[in-house]
C-alpha cells in the first residue's frame, strides 16, 4: 500500500482487483454533463509514426514528490509519487497493474505468471519469467524475492514504521517460509488461510524482487552477507535504509544504479526532488523510445499548470481550480483525459490527542455524526470540482461502480444540515456559549456530553490541511465556515503533503500525537477487494489517527479471513456509519499531454490509477 496526493487524492496503489472499471471513450466538454460519470475526455489511438529520442517532462503536484529510493518504504514516505511514479520505473513489482482502464493484473507486463494457491490457501507457488535481468547482467530470480521478504521481515522487526505496507500479523510476518524451489520458482507458506481474493490482491501483490547479489551488503564496499538470518538481514536493511536517507547521493550511489526496470536514475535534486530518468539499456521488456523522462517539482499547483499551459511540460495534472479551462487547453494542442480512481478522500481524526479533551470528544459517535452533517458534498462537487467529481459516503464509493458498494453509500449517510448538527449536539448536553459549542451537561447519560468530557469543554479544534492542493483548501475552508455556523470552531493550518505524513501520523511520529486533532492530506485508492484492513483496524499501518472499534475489527477480520467476499460490503457499510473520518467527494484525476506524444491507449488510461509506463510513450512526426 502507498500514499499519494494529486489535486484530490492520496492513494494506496499496490492492491487491485478483478472487476474492471468502465472506460470512458466519449468526450465530455461540460462539467454539468460530466458530473457522476466515470471519466472525462478520450484517448486517441496511437500514432503510426514514431520519432526516437526526446525528453518527456512530467509535472509533479506541489508538495507530492519522491522522498525515498529503497523499495522497502517507511510509512512516512509511502506515497505513489515515491513508489509508483518513481521507484517502479526502476524496480518493477512482481505483478504489474492495471490493464489500461481495467484494474486487473497485467500479466504481460509482470515478472511472473499467475500464482497457484493450494493447502487451503496457505501455500503459494510463483513461477517467474526467465528473461528478466538486472542492469548488471544478473538474472532476476526467486532468490531476489526471498531477499526482499527477508529484508521486509528485518525492517518491521526493527520498527513497524519501517514498512508502510505492514500491519502486525500480516505480510511479511505471516510468511512462515519463502523458499526458492527452483531458480525461477518461489514457494511461500503462509501461517494462516486467507480469502483467495485478499491473499492475491492484498498480500502477494506486495512482492518485489530486489537485487540479492548486489544489495546483500551492510557497508559500502562490504563483503556479501548471508541475508537468510534475521540478524544479518537487519544489518543489510539498516545500511540500505541509511543510504536511502541521503537524497543528495541518489544519482551517484552505485547501489541505486542496479535496476531491472525500464529506467535508471541520472539526476536528483535533493532541494526539490526533481529528477531525471534515462532508459535502462539492459531492460528485458519493451525498451524506451524517449531519451529522458524528467519529473519536475513545483511550489504550487498553479505554477505546475502554468508550465503545462505554456508548453514547458509534456504531461501534467490539471488542478481542480482550472477545470473550467479544459476546453481551452484541449484547443491548444493537448489531449485531455481523466477519471476517478477507486477509493476515497477523507478528513482524518486523531483519536489519541488529549489536548483540550479532544480524544474524549471525538470518541463520541454523536460528535462525529454532527461533524459529518457539516460536510456539504454536493456543494464541493459543484463549487470546488466544477462537476468533475462524485459524492462518496464511505470507503467503497458508488463511482466507479463496484459490487461491494453498500446501500448506505449510495446516498448521504449524514446529509448536509447545519441545523441537524446543532440539534444533535444540543441533545447531548452542548450549548452555544459566545458562539462556541460548550459542554453544559457532563456525564454518561443519553442526554449528556459523554465519558471524560468535563463541563465547560469546547468543541474547537485545529484542522491541518494539504496546502499544495487548492481543492483541499477550498473544501476545508467551506467546512470551517459551515462548522462555525453550528458553533464548532475549526482553525485551519496549511502544511505540505510530505510534512503532514512525516509529522502527523500517530504510528510514524508518536512524539507528535498531542500536536494534531484532525488533518486532510487527501485520501486512499483501494483494492477492488476493498477491505479497509491496515487503514481502519486497530493498529493498522495506515491507521493514521488511531481509530479503534471492536465491531470494525471483527468485520475487517471477516473480510480478510472469511470465505465470503460479501463480508467486505458489510464492513464498508459499518465504516460509513461509524465515521472513523469524514468522507469527501471523489474527484477525477485529469491529465493533459501534448498531442505530439503518443503511445498505447492503455499507457495513458492507467495514469489516473497511479500507474505509469512512460517507456511505452514516444513522440510523433
Within 10 Å of residue 44's Cβ, how many Cβ atoms? Answer: 11
- Answer yes or no: do 206 and 106 share one domain: yes
DSSP codes, 337-374: EEE--SEEEEEEE-TT--GGGHHHHHTSHHHHHHHHTT
Characterize 315-331 residue by residue with b for buried, 16 or more Cβ atoms within 10 angstroms of its Cβ, and e for exposed.
bbbbbbbbbeebeebbe
- Answer yes or no: do 143 and 265 share one domain: yes
Cα–Cα distance, 555 to 404 (Å, whole number) = 14
Indicate whether 20 belongs to any domain.
no
- Answer yes or no: do 348 and 280 share one domain: no
Indicate whether 168 belongs to any domain.
yes
pLDDT at 167: 79
Contact 616, 46 (CB under 8 A): no
User: For 279-317, how does the pLDDT look when each residue is reduced to its tens digit (9 = 90+)?
Assistant: 999 999 999 999 999 999 999 989 999 999 999 999 999
Give every CB contact of residue 221 below 8 A, 6+ residues apart in sequence. none
Indicate whether 99 belongs to any domain.
yes
pLDDT at 196: 86
- Answer yes or no: do 557 and 604 share one domain: no
Indicate whether 351 belongs to any domain.
yes
**CATH number of the structural domain spanning residue 172:** 3.90.76.10
Q: How many separate domains does the chain show?
A: 2
- Answer yes or no: do 37 and 144 share one domain: yes
Indicate whether 430 belongs to any domain.
yes
- Cell 493447502: give the residue: 119
Indicate whether 198 belongs to any domain.
yes
Indicate whether 14 belongs to any domain.
no
Rounded to the nearest 5 degrees, what angle is found at the Cα of 575, between the Cα atoms of 162 and 383? 95
Residue 79, domain extent: 31-293+589-619
The beta strand positions in 18-152, using DSSP E, are: 40-41, 55-59, 116-118, 123-127
pLDDT at 27: 27
Tell me the mean pLDDT per 10 residues along the chain, length 621: 37 28 25 41 90 97 92 91 95 92 86 96 97 98 98 97 88 97 98 91 94 97 96 98 98 98 98 98 96 96 94 93 88 90 91 98 98 97 87 85 85 95 98 98 97 98 93 96 98 94 92 97 83 92 94 95 87 97 91 96 90 96 78
- Answer yes or no: do 264 and 279 share one domain: yes
- Answer yes or no: do 477 and 420 share one domain: yes
- Answer yes or no: do 142 and 280 share one domain: yes
pTM for the complete prediction?
0.78
Q: Which three cell numbers stand for residue 225?
A: 552477507
- Answer yes or no: do 577 and 593 share one domain: no
With residue 601 as reference, give the H or E element that holds it. Answer: helix 601-605
With residue 619 as reference, give the H or E element that holds it. Answer: strand 618-619
Phi then psi dihedrals of residue 570, to 5 deg: -65, -45
**CATH number of the structural domain spanning residue 561:** 3.10.105.10
User: With the C-alpha atoms ordered 379, 384, 388, 391, is the resulting torsion angle positive or negative?
Assistant: negative
- Answer yes or no: do 541 and 463 share one domain: yes
Rounded to the nearest 5 degrees, what angle is found at the Cα of 168, between the Cα atoms of 392 and 142? 100
- Answer yes or no: do 270 and 371 share one domain: no
Indicate whether 607 belongs to any domain.
yes
pLDDT at 168: 84
- Answer yes or no: do 598 and 499 share one domain: no
Amino acid at each position: 500500500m502507498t500514499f499519494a496526493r494529486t489535486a484530490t487524492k492520496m492513494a494506496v496503489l499496490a492492491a487491485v482487483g478483478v472487476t474492471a472499471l468502465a472506460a470512458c471513450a466519449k468526450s465530455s466538454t461540460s462539467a454539468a454533463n460530466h458530473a457522476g460519470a466515470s471519466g472525462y475526455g478520450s484517448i486517441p489511438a496511437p500514432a503510426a509514426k514514431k520519432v526516437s529520442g526526446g525528453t518527456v517532462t512530467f509535472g509533479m503536484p506541489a508538495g507530492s514528490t519522491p522522498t525515498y529510493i529503497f523499495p522497502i518504504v517507511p510509512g512516512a514516505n509511502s506515497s505513489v509519487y515515491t513508489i509508483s511514479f518513481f521507484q517502479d520505473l526502476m524496480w518493477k513489482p512482481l505483478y504489474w497493474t492495471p490493464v489500461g482502464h481495467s484494474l486487473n493484473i497485467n500479466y504481460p507486463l509482470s515478472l511472473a505468471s499467475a500464482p497457484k494457491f493450494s493447502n487451503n490457501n496457505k501455500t503459494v507457488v510463483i513461477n517467474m519469467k526467465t528473461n528478466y535481468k538486472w542492469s548488471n547482467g544478473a538474472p532476476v530470480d526467486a532468490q531476489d524475492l526471498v531477499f526482499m521478504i527477508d529484508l521486509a521481515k528485518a525492517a518491521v522487526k526493527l520498527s513497524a514504521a519501517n514498512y508502510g505496507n505492514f500491519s502486525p500479523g500480516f505480510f511479511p510476518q505471516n510468511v512462515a517460509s519463502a523458499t526458492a524451489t527452483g531458480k525461477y520458482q518461489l514457494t511461500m507458506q503462509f501461517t494462516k488461510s486467507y480469502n483467495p481474493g485478499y491473499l492475491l490482491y492484498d498480500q502477494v501483490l506486495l512482492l518485489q524482487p530486489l537485487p540479492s547479489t548486489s544489495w546483500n551488503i551492510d557497508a559500502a564496499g562490504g563483503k556479501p552477507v548471508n541475508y537468510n538470518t534475521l540478524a544479518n538481514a537487519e544489518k543489510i536493511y539498516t545500511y540500505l535504509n541509511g543510504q536511502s536517507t541521503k537524497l543528495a547521493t541518489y544519482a551517484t550511489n552505485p547501489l541505486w544504479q542496479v535496476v531491472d526496470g525500464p529506467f535508471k536514475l541520472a539526476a536528483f535534486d535533493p532541494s526539490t526532488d526533481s529528477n531525471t530518468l534515462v532508459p535502462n539499456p539492459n531492460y528485458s521488456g519493451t525498451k524506451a523510445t524517449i531519451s529522458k523522462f524528467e519529473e519536475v517539482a513545483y511550489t504550487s499547483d498553479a505554477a505546475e499548470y502554468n508550465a503545462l499551459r505554456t508548453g514547458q511540460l509534456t504531461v501534467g495534472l490539471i488542478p481542480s481550480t482550472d477545470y473550467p479551462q479544459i476546453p481551452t487547453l484541449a484547443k491548444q494542442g493537448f489531449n485531455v483525459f481523466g477519471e476517478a480512481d477507486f477509493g476515497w478522500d477523507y478528513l482524518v481524526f486523531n483519536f489519541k490527542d488529549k489536548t483540550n479533551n479532544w480524544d474524549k470528544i471525538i470518541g463520541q459517535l454523536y460528535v462525529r455524526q454532527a461533524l459529518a452533517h457539516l460536510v456539504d458534498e454536493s456543494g464541493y462537487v459543484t463549487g470546488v470540482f466544477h462537476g468533475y467529481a462524485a459524492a462518496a459516503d464511505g470507503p467503497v464509493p458508488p463511482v466507479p461502480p463496484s459490487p461491494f458498494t453498500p446501500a448506505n453509500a449510495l446516498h448521504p449517510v449524514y446529509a448536509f444540515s447545519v441545523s441537524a448538527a446543532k440539534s444533535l449536539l444540543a441533545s447531548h448536553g452542548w450549548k452555544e456559549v459566545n458562539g462556541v459549542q460548550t459542554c453544559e451537561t457532563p456525564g454518561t447519560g443519553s442526554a449528556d456530553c459523554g465519558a471524560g468530557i468535563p463541563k465547560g469543554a469546547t468543541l474547537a479544534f485545529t484542522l491541518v490541511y494539504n496546502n499544495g492542493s487548492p481543492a483541499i483548501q477550498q473544501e476545508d475552508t467551506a467546512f470551517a465556515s459551515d462548522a462555525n455556523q453550528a458553533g464548532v470552531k475549526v482553525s485551519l493550518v496549511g502544511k505540505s503533503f510530505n510534512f503532514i505524513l512525516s509529522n502527523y501520523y500517530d504510528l510514524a511520529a508518536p512524539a507528535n500525537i498531542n500536536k494534531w486533532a484532525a488533518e486532510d492530506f487527501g485520501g486512499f485508492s483501494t483494492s477492488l477487494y476493498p477491505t479497509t484492513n491496515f487503514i481502519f483496524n486497530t493498529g493498522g499501518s495506515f491507521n493514521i489517527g488511531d481509530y479503534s472499534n471492536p465491531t470494525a475489527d471483527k468485520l475487517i477480520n471477516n473480510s480478510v479471513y472469511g470465505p465470503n467476499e460479501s463480508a467486505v460490503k458489510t464492513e464498508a457499510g459499518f465504516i460509513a456509519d461509524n465515521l472513523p473520518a469524514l468522507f469527501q467527494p471523489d474527484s477525477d484525476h485529469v491529465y493533459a499531454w501534448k498531442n505530439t506524444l503518443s503511445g498505447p491507449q492503455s499507457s495513458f488510461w492507467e495514469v489516473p490509477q497511479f500507474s505509469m509506463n512512460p517507456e511505452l510513450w514516444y513522440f510523433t512526426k
